[in-house]
Chain A
């Protein structure tokens, strides 16, 4: 079945460090890929998405590129801020299924 695997946390970085959170997926078709973020005390919200191979999603300085050959959608940011501290979820959705399947989440701590 379809699944998403992302790196385990917590990930702790200093402010202005470079961030990578790895995500790989297994899917029978051609899924859309997402990163969702959950800030402390808030609900899940969409951070970025990509709907086909080689697409790059970007938002708030974060980027992720849909890599079909490696079945990956790694999240990157060049310079993190304390306000980026949150839990990040990689997810996928397929055309034939309307449900979104989530990874287990990666908790990110940014130290000032």
Chain B
């Protein structure tokens, strides 16, 4: 596609359930980022992939959060035993190298609501 695609656009789940959020980056982009944005806040870094490997996962809040990118393209963010505090918009971005002069293109996000 022409841009970064995230699915679903909205997800409502019950506390304690497992969820998966999907990101389709721009074709050919090697770098992929996940961010979380709570209401009234800026995007908070979660994890960064360069190719298939997680180059920096220092932003994952705890071991309930995990992300994969097995073929270096599509990525899935997985949240186990969801809590109400996980409710936020989860943003994905991709860029063609990840260096300082490259632009990160963002998807429209998945709004996760844990009830």
Q: Interface on A for B, CB 8 Å cutoff? A: 4, 32, 42-46, 49, 51, 89, 91, 93, 95, 97-105
Contacts and interface: CB of A to CB of B under 8 A. Distances in A.
B112 interface: no
B33 A51 contact: no
B8 to A, nearest CB: 15
Interface in B16-67: 31, 33, 35, 40-45, 48, 50, 55-56, 59
A19 B35 CA distance: 28
Nearest to A94: B100
How many chain B residues sit at the interface, stated as a range, is 20 to 34
A103 B107 CA distance: 19
Given A46-B104, A97-B56, 17 more contacts: A43-B106, A45-B106, A51-B100, A98-B31, A98-B48, A98-B98, A98-B99, A99-B33, A99-B45, A99-B56, A99-B59, A100-B33, A102-B42, A102-B43, A102-B44, A104-B41, A105-B40
Interface class of chain A by DSSP: strand
Interface of B: 3-4, 31, 33, 35, 40-45, 48, 50, 55-56, 59, 91, 93, 98-101, 103-109
B56 A89 contact: no
Contacts of A101: 45
